[in-house]
């Protein structure tokens, strides 16, 4: 009886002749990096920065000029208003009729501060004693008004008028130029706080 020896069916693996995948190379130490910027880009950025600076500077200057112009216009308007207040007062104070003295007293106190109105109340009897014997009448025409100063809204103004008057001494009448010195206070509601020159309106009496 013959015994068969079984054949080996497995085979030894063939040696791996393929090369393993290459590993990534590590960056070289000490490698320097350089950045290249075009000269045109630098110039464009510089021009843009300059343009922005010019625009901002122009805007600031323009706004400042507008503010100054607005302030100047407001100051000029206030001065004109003060001169008109002073002129209106001087015209009223120069319009006199001895037959209606009380009306004149009312005009003397019109748009004045309480302190100035009180002064006119105190001097009313003396003024009446001047007007009645003289039989004084007068009217006025404005010539000009000039602001001498403005201290914090307090205006010192000279008002020039031509006054035409008649009285017992000159019944045919006469003309004279009278100057009123009027103080107008903006903070007091454009009130007249002081006045000089009334004696000129009364012929220096």
Distance CA 16, CA 5 (A): 32
With respect to residue 126, please indicate whether it lies within any of the assigned structural domains.
yes
Domain that holds residue 137: 59-201
Distance CA 5, CA 28 (A): 63
Q: Is the pLDDT of residue 170 over 70?
A: yes
Number of alpha helices (DSSP H) and beta strands (DSSP E) in the chain: 4, 5
Q: For the whole model, what pTM was predicted?
A: 0.68
**3 state DSSP class of 192:** strand
With respect to residue 107, please indicate whether it lies within any of the assigned structural domains.
yes
**Phi, psi of 140, rounded to the nearest 5 degrees:** -140, 155
HSE of 159, CA atoms in CB hemisphere, 13 A: 32
With respect to residue 103, please indicate whether it lies within any of the assigned structural domains.
yes
With respect to residue 32, please indicate whether it lies within any of the assigned structural domains.
no
Q: How far is CA 69 from the centre of its chain?
A: 8
CATH number for the domain including 148?
3.10.450.230
With respect to residue 22, please indicate whether it lies within any of the assigned structural domains.
no
Q: Could you read off the pLDDT of 146-160 as tens digits, one per residue?
A: 999 999 999 999 999
With respect to residue 134, please indicate whether it lies within any of the assigned structural domains.
yes
With respect to residue 17, please indicate whether it lies within any of the assigned structural domains.
no
- Tally of structural domains, the chain: 1
Lowest mean pLDDT among 29-33, 138-142, 167-171: 29-33
Instruction: Please report which confidence band the pLDDT of residue 130 belongs to, taking 50, 70 and 90 as the band edges.
Output: confident
With respect to residue 105, please indicate whether it lies within any of the assigned structural domains.
yes
Q: Could you read off the pLDDT of 61-99 as tens digits, one per residue?
A: 766 776 788 888 899 999 999 999 999 999 999 999 999
């Amino acid at each position: 009886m013959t015994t068969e020896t079984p054949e080996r069916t497995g085979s030894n693996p063939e040696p791996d002749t393929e090369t393993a995948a290459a590993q990534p190379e590590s960056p070289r130490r000490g490698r320097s990096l350089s950045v290249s910027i075009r000269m045109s880009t630098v110039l464009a950025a510089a021009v843009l920065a300059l343009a922005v600076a010019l625009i901002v500077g122009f805007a600031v200057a323009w706004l400042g000029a507008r503010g100054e112009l607005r302030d100047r216009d407001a100051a000029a308007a206030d001065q004109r208003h003060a001169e008109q207040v002073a002129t209106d007062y001087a015209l009223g104070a120069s319009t006199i009729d001895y037959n209606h003295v009380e009306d004149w007293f009312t005009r003397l106190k019109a748009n004045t501060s309480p302190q100035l109105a009180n002064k006119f109340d105190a001097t009313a009897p003396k003024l009446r004693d001047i007007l009645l014997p003289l039989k004084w009448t007068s009217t006025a025409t404005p010539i000009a008004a000039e602001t001498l100063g403005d201290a914090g809204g307090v205006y010192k103004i000279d008002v020039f008028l031509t006054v035409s008057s008649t009285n017992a001494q000159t019944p045919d009448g006469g003309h004279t130029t009278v100057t009123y010195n009027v103080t107008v206070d903006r903070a007091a509601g454009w009130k007249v706080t002081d006045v000089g020159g009334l004696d000129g309106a009364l012929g220096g009496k």
